[in-house]
Chains A and B, each alone.
Chain A
Amino acid sequence: MKREPPQSIADYGPLFFPAGMLLIFFVVPFGTMIAVSFFQRQEGGFYTPAFVFSNYERFLTAFFGGVLGFSLMLAVTVAICCVVLALPFTYLLSRLTRRLQVIWLVALLSVLSLSEVIIGFAWSTLLSRTAGLSNLLVKIGLLEQPVALFPSFGAVPTGMVYQALPYTILVLYPAIVRLDPTLMEAARTLGSSPIRAFFNVLVPALRNTIMATLIMVFIFALGSYLLPQILGRPQHWTLSVLITDQAIYQSNMPFAAAMAVFLVLVTLGLVALTLLIGRKGEKA
């Protein structure tokens, strides 16, 4: 079938619906947020329309810089952990029989049905001193007495990786299943070990997919605000937690909006940078 370029407005018809949805549910709210971020905060009240930079000024301090840096570092950590875990898992999954694959995928999808709240509380129980995993370690003699493993830095990415892993696998899965199996067979017949073939053939062949997955998980993890609160100490709170505080508890919408706009800009900047580096690498 030959594809004709669109000739008339009617040919663009199918695009109107998604474009409209994007406009109503993304462009308009985001535009509103940008507008509010320049409004004048009224202490002890709400805000009045204005064009001031004070909300951005308040954000540009070492304190908020530190929180932003931590949030980005946390999201990168979660993204890398997820891809490192999900890539070999998905590859092995793709080599199972159809039936087993379906069972695994259904199990993974069911994890997605858990809310962040349930995941947070489940992990806080698992990591607690009174009922948690450390009791098992005491039973088998590895520990003297049970210890609390949360709140701590380790607990936060653990919960977040658990939450994001099913998404990672579901994004990687189609690409890995479609990958030509003869590539790996060729590597094997040429004398490469399975692990060597995985790293030298499969990973480079999936380069773009891996990059896209990393970015997706990174953005997903950046928005997390409940798990850092439940599993971490205040120094592990992400910028999203502070945005929620300002918006919901302080009713300081202009400042919350300014922080959110800043977060979006930094995120877009980082994603653009990643894509740019990726493209340069391809040319070389």
Chain B
Amino acid sequence: MSISRQSSLPAWTGTESYIADESLQAIVNVGVGLGRPLLVKGEPGTGKTLLAYAVAEGLKLPLITWHIKSTTRAQDGLYLYDTVARLNDSRFGDHDVRDIAQYIKLGPLGEAFARSQAGERVVLLIDEIDKADIEFPNDLLHELDAMRFTIAETGKEIRAEVRPIVIITSNAEKELPDAFLRRCVFHYIEFPDEGQLQRICRVHHPDVDEKLLAAALRKFVQLRTIPDLRKKPTTSELIDWLSSLRLSGIDAAKLEATLPFAGVLLKQENDTQRVNRASSMRR
């Protein structure tokens, strides 16, 4: 694997709507430069998945997404051979079924390799890799390392000429195997502090009333400090909450004493009760 900076690409600095701190910018650029997959973890709502979209947008590259489910297998990412369609065509179709290639459908990983075989650099998002079986990452090791695979049925090799930028997200539902982790650049996105939250909110609500924003942020940060919440409210919920507050035209002063639209922020019944208890104690 060559290590030299892929000079054709400019450094990534975030986008207008995706605010990345310096360390995240540096890490993305190192990952791209080293040609290694970037593994991103972090609390829900810290923008793990959006990072891939932002990298693609910022570097003006096409994005291929692969959303992992509990039933996803590594093979699904490479290609599928639609035997049933071929069988069906052999009976009822007017195709020439001797050409197997027309029944090979590339998966997201396969497509990313194939496009970069043609010299196009792409960003590949492997979203929520921990959703799959615990052996899943191991099954991908070879393909991610070598950036090539062979379609057994046709003998055709798909080989990435320029390494795609691979961004992998994980919610830490399962631990990932060591061998896999060794090959990744790892980053944990911290929950944004109040200043960053303010910037993020301004991006999504550019014309928000200053007082309302300040009051909402104060309330939100306070909520997150309540211990033992089963699901702490996240950035995306904060943005939704702000929309609700603005739509209903609630006065900033009213936010001090009450928590309107609590359901937008708190999704667990226990949490709602806990918050009510905490706020009644404060009074």
A and B are partners in one complex rather than unrelated chains = no
